[in-house]
C-alpha cells in the first residue's frame, strides 16, 4: 500500500494545474486503478489493527485526491475530460468511500489515534468529486443522489453538505487563458464570522464602484480574518470561551437590570425630612452636596446591593470581554514628534487598519466609565445608575447613527465652539466694561439676584449662561433707563442676538443635521446597492431574474461575499504545500491584494447555450487537432517500421543471393 500511495502522490503533483499531464494520466487508464483502490473493502477493520486503517485511509485519500485534481477546471477542455472521467469512474465505489470515511471519522479508535482529520479530508474530497461532476453538467443517472440501501450515507452527505461551500473565481492557467471556474471547499464551523463584524462590513465597505468595492472588500477581509482566527483561539480554551459566549443575551440581561434598578430608584427615592423644599424650609443648606435619599429599608439593605452586585458582575464581564476580544487590535497613537524623537530606538507608528481600535477611543472610555458608574452606584445611593442607561445605545443602529452625526464632524464642531467662546468672551468684556451696573445681584435691588459681574470671570460665566439659553439683552436691564442710552444697547443686544443666537447656534445645528442627512443618504445608497447589484460581480438584479434562478439565489449560493472570506480563511488554515492549482492561485492573488480573482461582470449561471456551444466547439477543435497529431505520429512510426522491414528484406535477399 505504501508504494502505491507514493505513486499516487507523484501523479497528484504532476496533474495539479497541468491539464496536458491530466490528459496523459487519464489516457494511461489511471481511473481503472483508482476504481480498484476505491473498491477495497474496509471490512472489520478492528481485526487488522490501526496500522491497516491508517494505510487504507492514506491510500483511498490519495486516490480521491488524484481524481479531484484531475477534475479541476483549469482549461477550456476540462469539461470534456470531466465527462470522460464520469463515464469511467465507478460511482458506486465513490459512494462506498464516502460511507467508509464517515464511519472511520466517527470511530473511537481512529479518534484516539488522532487520525480522524485524515478521514474527514478524504470524506470531503470524495464528496466534492460527486459535486464537481454535477457542476460540469454530467448526467450521473441513478448515482446523482445517494442510494437508499446505505444506512449512514445519508448522514454523511448531510454532514458534508452542511459544511461545504462554493464560490466562483477567475483562474489564469499556464497558457494565459482566463477561466471562470467554480471552487468547492469545506467550512470549519469554528471559523464562523461574528454578527457584529458582518454588520460592520456590510454597511461600511466602500461601494463607489465595482473596483473600489472589491479593493475595500479585500482590506476588510484581512481585518475579518484576523478577528475570526483570534476568536477561534479564544474558543479553544475554556476560560476565554466563557468570556465570549452569549454576547447578545448578556447585553439584554445587563440592560434589563439597569432599567430595573433605575425604575426602583425612581419609585422609592424621596427627599428626607429637613431637606424638603416647603414653606417652612425654603432655603438650602450652605454646604452643597448630594442628599442621602429617604428609601425603604428593604430596598436599601437587600434589593439595591443584590441587584447592584449582579449588575457589577455583568459590567465586569463586559469590560473583560471587550479587552480580551480586542486586544490584538489595540493601538496607542502618539503625537508625530514622539516617533521622530524615539524612532532610533525602534518606536514605529502603528499601522491603521479597519480592525484597529484606539486604546483611548470612545468605546474604550465608555466601557471603563460604565464599570466605574456601576461601582460608584453601590457607594453613592444608586445615583450613577442613571449614567448606565446610556447602554441602550450599544447594539442600536439608529442611536449609533445619531451619535455618529455628532462625532463624525467632531473637529468642526470643536472649532465652531472655540469661535463661539471667543465671541462670548468679547461680549463678556463689553458687559464688564459698560454693563456691570446692570448686573446688580443684591437682594434689595428689586432685580434678579443671579447676575454676577463683579469680576471679568464672573461676567464671562454670566454671558455664557444667559447668552446661550436666553436673550442676553433682556437679562441685563437698561441702566439708567433713558432713551439716549438705548441706542448703544440696541447695537449690543441685536448684534448678540444675530451673531450668537441666530447664526452661531444654527451653524452647530446645521452641521449636525447635514451630517445626519449624509449618513441617511449613505445608508440609502448602500441599501439600494445591496438590492440592485451583486456585490461580487456587480451585475444588476434583473439579469438574474430574467436569465437565471433569481437574484437572491445567486447572491446566496453563487456569489456570497461571506463565502469568499470563508474560503480565504480556509486557505490560510491549510498548509501551503497541500494547495492545489486553484487554491494556490487564489491564495497568492488575495495575498497580493489583486481583485482580478473576482468574477467582475461574470457569472456562470448567466452563460447561455450559445456560450456553451462555442466552448464545446473549441474543445472539439482542440481534440480533433490532438487526434490528427497523434495520427500523424503513428503514421510516421508505421512508415519508419515499414522502411526498416523493407531494408531487412533486401538485406536478407542479398545475403541469400
Say whether 420 sits in a helix, a strand or coil. helix
Residue 374 has pLDDT above 90, yes or no: yes
287-294: which pairs have CB atoms within 8 A and are 24 or more residues apart?
290/380, 290/381, 290/383, 292/381, 293/269, 293/381, 294/269, 294/270
Of residues 395, 392, 394, 399, the one with CA closest to residue 262: 392
Tell me, what DSSP letter sits at residue 351? P
Q: What is the pTM assigned to this prediction?
A: 0.79
Coil, strand, or helix at residue 292? coil
> What secondary structure does DSSP assign to 70-104, as a single string?
HT---STTHHHHHHHHHHHS-HHHHHHHHHHHHHH
How many Å apart are CA 81 and CA 21, to the nearest integer?
12
Task: Give the per-residue pLDDT at 114.
Answer: 73
Percentage of residues in the chain having pLDDT higher than 90: 16
Instruction: Indicate the SS3 state at residue 181.
Output: strand
Share of the chain above pLDDT 70, in %: 79
The predicted-structure confidence for 9-50, as pLDDT tens digits, reads as follows: 888 888 888 888 888 888 888 888 888 888 887 765 556 667
Burial of 608 (0-12, 13-18, 19+ CB in 10 A): exposed
DSSP label at residue 164: E
Omega of the bond leading into 30 within 30 degrees of 0 (cis)? no
What's the mean pLDDT in 113-126?
Answer: 83
Question: Model confidence over 576-619: pLDDT tens digits?
Answer: 888 888 999 999 999 898 999 999 998 888 876 445 555 556 55
2: pLDDT strictly greater than 80:
no
Q: Chain-wide mean pLDDT for the chain?
A: 81
- Separation between Cα atoms, residue 147 and residue 153, nearest integer Å: 8
CA–CA separation, 124 and 126 (whole Å): 5
pLDDT bin (cut points 50, 70, 90) of residue 429 is very high
3-state secondary structure of 172: strand
Task: Give SS3 for 346.
Answer: coil
Amino acid at each position: 500500500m505504501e508504494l502505491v500511495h507514493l505513486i499516487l502522490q507523484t501523479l497528484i503533483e504532476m496533474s495539479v494545474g497541468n491539464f496536458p499531464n491530466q490528459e496523459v494520466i487519464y489516457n494511461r487508464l489511471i481511473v481503472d486503478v483508482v476504481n480498484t483502490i476505491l473498491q477495497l473493502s474496509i471490512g472489520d477493520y478492528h481485526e487488522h489493527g490501526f496500522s491497516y486503517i491508517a494505510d487504507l485511509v492514506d491510500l483511498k485519500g490519495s486516490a480521491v485526491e488524484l481524481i479531484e485534481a484531475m477534475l479541476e477546471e483549469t482549461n477550456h477542455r476540462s469539461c470534456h475530460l470531466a465527462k470522460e472521467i464520469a463515464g469511467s469512474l465507478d460511482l458506486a465505489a465513490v459512494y462506498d468511500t464516502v460511507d467508509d470515511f464517515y464511519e472511520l471519522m466517527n470511530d473511537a479508535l481512529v479518534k484516539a489515534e488522532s487520525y480522524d482529520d485524515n478521514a474527514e479530508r478524504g470524506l470531503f474530497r470524495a464528496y466534492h468529486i460527486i459535486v464537481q461532476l454535477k457542476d460540469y453538467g454530467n448526467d450521473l443517472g441513478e448515482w446523482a443522489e445517494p442510494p437508499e440501501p446505505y444506512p449512514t450515507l445519508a448522514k454523511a452527505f448531510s454532514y458534508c453538505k452542511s459544511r461545504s461551500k462554493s464560490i466562483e473565481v477567475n483562474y489564469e492557467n499556464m497558457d494565459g487563458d482566463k477561466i471562470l471556474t467554480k471552487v468547492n471547499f469545506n467550512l470549519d464551523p469554528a471559523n464562523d464570522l461574528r454578527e457584529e463584524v458582518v454588520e460592520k462590513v456590510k454597511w461600511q465597505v466602500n461601494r463607489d464602484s465595482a473596483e473600489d468595492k472589491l479593493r475595500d472588500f479585500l482590506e476588510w477581509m484581512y481585518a475579518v480574518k484576523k478577528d475570526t482566527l483570534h476568536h477561534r483561539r479564544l474558543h479553544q480554551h475554556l476560560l476565554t470561551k466563557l468570556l465570549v459566549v452569549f454576547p447578545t443575551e448578556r447585553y439584554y440581561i445587563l440592560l434589563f437590570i439597569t432599567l430595573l434598578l433605575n425604575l426602583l430608584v425612581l419609585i422609592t427615592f424621596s427627599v428626607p425630612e429637613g431637606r424638603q423644599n416647603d414653606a417652612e424650609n425654603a432655603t438650602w443648606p450652605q454646604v452643597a452636596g448630594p442628599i442621602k435619599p429617604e428609601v425603604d429599608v428593604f430596598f436599601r439593605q437587600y434589593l439595591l446591593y443584590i441587584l447592584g452586585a449582579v449588575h457589577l458582575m455583568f459590567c465586569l464581564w463586559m469590560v473583560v470581554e471587550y479587552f480580551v476580544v480586542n486586544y490584538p487590535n489595540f493601538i496607542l497613537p502618539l503625537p508625530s514628534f514622539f516617533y521622530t524623537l524615539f524612532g532610533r530606538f525602534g518606536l514605529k507608528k502603528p499601522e491603521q487598519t479597519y480592525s484597529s481600535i484606539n486604546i483611548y477611543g470612545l468605546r474604550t472610555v465608555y466601557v471603563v466609565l460604565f464599570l466605574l458608574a456601576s461601582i460608584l452606584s453601590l457607594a453613592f445611593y444608586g445615583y450613577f445608575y442613571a449614567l448606565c442607561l446610556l447602554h441602550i445605545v450599544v447594539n442600536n443602529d439608529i442611536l449609533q447613527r445619531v451619535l455618529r452625526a455628532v462625532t463624525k464632524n467632531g473637529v468642526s464642531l470643536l472649532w465652531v465652539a472655540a469661535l463661539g467662546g471667543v465671541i462670548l468672551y468679547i461680549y463678556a468684556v463689553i458687559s464688564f466694561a459698560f454693563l456691570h451696573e446692570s448686573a446688580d445681584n443684591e437682594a434689595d435691588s428689586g432685580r434678579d439676584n443671579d447676575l454676577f459681574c463683579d469680576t471679568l470671570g464672573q461676567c464671562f460665566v454670566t454671558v455664557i449662561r444667559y447668552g446661550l439659553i436666553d436673550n442676553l439683552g433682556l437679562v441685563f436691564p437698561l441702566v439708567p433707563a433713558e432713551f439716549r442710552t438705548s441706542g448703544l444697547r440696541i447695537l449690543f443686544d441685536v448684534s448678540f442676538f444675530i451673531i450668537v443666537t441666530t447664526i452661531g447656534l444654527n451653524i452647530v445645528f446645521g452641521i449636525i443635521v447635514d451630517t445626519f442627512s449624509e449618513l441617511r443618504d449613505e445608508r440609502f445608497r448602500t441599501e439600494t446597492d445591496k438590492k440592485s447589484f451583486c456585490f461580487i460581480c456587480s451585475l444588476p438584479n434583473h439579469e438574474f431574474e430574467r436569465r437565471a434562478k433569481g437574484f437572491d439565489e445567486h447572491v446566496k449560493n453563487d456569489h456570497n461575499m461571506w463565502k469568499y472570506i470563508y474560503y480565504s480563511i480556509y486557505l490560510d488554515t491549510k498548509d501551503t504545500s497541500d494547495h492545489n492549482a486553484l487554491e494556490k492561485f487564489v491564495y497568492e492573488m488575495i495575498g497580493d491584494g489583486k481583485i482580478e480573482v473576482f468574477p467582475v461582470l461574470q457569472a456562470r449561471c448567466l452563460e447561455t447555450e450559445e456560450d456553451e456551444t462555442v466552448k464545446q466547439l473549441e474543445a472539439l477543435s482542440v481534440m480533433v487537432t490532438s487526434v490528427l497529431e497523434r495520427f500523424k505520429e503513428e503514421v510516421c512510426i508505421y512508415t519508419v517500421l515499414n522502411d526498416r522491414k523493407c531494408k531487412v528484406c533486401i538485406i536478407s535477399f542479398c545475403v541469400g543471393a
